[in-house]
Amino acid sequence: MTASVRAVALLALAVPIAALAQGGSTDAAPAGANPMASWDPRRPTATQEKASRHEVEAVLKKMEQANKKGDLDAATSIIDFPVLMLTDNKAGNAVGGPWSEEEWRKRMAPMFAHPMASMTMKHATKIAVLTPALASVTDDWTVTAGKTTKGGRSAMLLVKKDGAWKVKSMVEGGWGDMKPPEGAAAQQEEGGATK
């Protein structure tokens, strides 16, 4: 595990603690007290989980329809920027980082220029509703174009803001050796942000 990948893993643990330190709870802990004492992890109720699952499924369907139609604007509308984009390269190293909307559009435009309308996709999707505002999705997928079938696994994190679910991160292997289009970031740092 590279230092950058470890840093990302530690960041995932640090975020809830940082939120507490910045007023994530109305119960201020006295100096020297346990900062975790007022932490109240939220779990969705059964009703919230069911509703959230349907809402997340609608976002996934919208993304697939945008891919099939080659509609970059529709896909962009369901992303919360900056979005964390992660993949790996042939050397077996994780690469990626946060992309702005401009970066995402530049890098994804070539994909959307070749709509997937003629392709058949099958999904085995698992949605985990973590809280009423946080969800993760993993997808074991296959795509068939003519006589060629490829398969893989991808993952997303979604966040709910102002009543709407949006994609906050996308993770899928195999893209790390592709040259970015002109005008996009020229290099990616292994396990870290784009340069």
pTM above 0.85, yes or no: no
In this predicted structure, what is the pLDDT of residue 140? 93
Q: Which residue has the tokens 């993760």?
A: 136
Distance CA 151, CA 180 (A): 23
Q: How confident is the model at residue 181 (pLDDT cuts 50, 70, 90)?
A: low
List C-alpha distances in Å: 141 to 72, 95, 124. Answer: 21, 21, 6
Percent of the chain surpassing pLDDT 70 = 76
Label residue 39 by pLDDT band (50, 70, 90).
Answer: confident
CB of 170 closer than 8 Å to CB of 83: yes
Percent of the chain with pLDDT over 90: 52
CA pair distance 161, 128, nearest whole angstrom: 17
Amino acid at 68: K
pLDDT at 172: 95
Distance CA 94, CA 88 (A): 4
Three-state SS letters, 6-33: HHHHHHHHHHHHHHHHCCCCCCCCCCCC
Return phi, psi of residue 86, to 5°.
-130, 140
pLDDT digits (tens, 9 = 90+) for 88-136: 999 999 999 999 999 999 999 988 887 776 778 898 999 999 999 999 9
Backbone phi, psi, residue 53, to 5°: -60, -45
Which domains can be identified in the chain, with CATH numbers? 1-41 (no CATH), 43-195 (3.10.450.50)
pLDDT of residue 112: 87
- Helix (H/G/I), strand (E/B), else coil: 59: helix
- Distance (Å, rounded) from C-alpha 128 to C-alpha 158? 10
* Residue 57 binned pLDDT confidence (cut-offs 50, 70, 90): very high
- The predicted pLDDT at position 185 comes to 57
pLDDT at 40 (0 to 100): 86
pLDDT in tens, 6-37: 444 444 444 444 444 445 554 565 667 888 88
31 vs 187: CA distance, rounded Å: 45
Give the whole-angstrom CA distance, residue 51 versus residue 131.
Answer: 12
The model's confidence at residue 182, banded by pLDDT at 50, 70 and 90, is: low
Single-letter residue type at 118: S
Residues pairing with 157 in the sheet: 136, 169
Predicted local distance difference test score (pLDDT) of residue 7: 42
